[in-house]
Amino acid sequence: MDEVFAKLAGSRFRSGFRLGEKEARYLLERGLEAVGGQAREMIDKRLAPAEPLNDGKQTPWRGHPVFVAQHATGTCCRSCLLKWHGVEKGRELSEAERGYVVGVICRWLSLQALPESSRPATGRRRGESPGEPGLFS
């Protein structure tokens, strides 16, 4: 997983994701364990089937911390899962693969829960430039 996170950190697009205030508050209030359980339900329904409904468009960009994490970690659709994690398309995800995807999401979420000063430098949100507030701040 460390290798995947290093590759994700090298992607300007993937490394630019951050939880918004609403998603961060949701994660803080419910806790990582509960949100991880919700991630599992979402993965089972939206990503695990061999042919997910609306694949490539099934994951909203905002509204839940798991959605943001999926885009940040390349676990948002089967094409991204193949590109970033080497999980082939066209077959249902195994139990181990589902657990791996949830683990990736939870790891990213746990990093987001750190105070800003403790986070590793992984890039800015889309729309931000150095020293200026972001469009989504």
What does the pLDDT look like over 30-56, one tens digit per residue?
Answer: 999 999 999 999 999 999 999 998 888
More confident residue, 128 or 17: 17
Task: Name the band, by pLDDT with cuts 50, 70 and 90, for residue 120.
Answer: very low
In a domain, residue 123? The reply is no
Q: What is the pLDDT of residue 101?
A: 98
The answer to whether position 133 is within a domain reads: no
Q: What is the pLDDT of residues 77-90, one digit of tens each?
A: 999 999 999 999 99
> Is residue 42, in this structure, part of any structural domain at all?
yes
Residue range(s) defining the domain that contains residue 8: 2-115
In a domain, 34, yes or no: yes
What's the chain's length in residues?
137
Q: In this structure, is residue 127 part of a structural domain?
A: no
What angle separates helix 95-112 from helix 65-73, to the nearest 10 degrees? 110
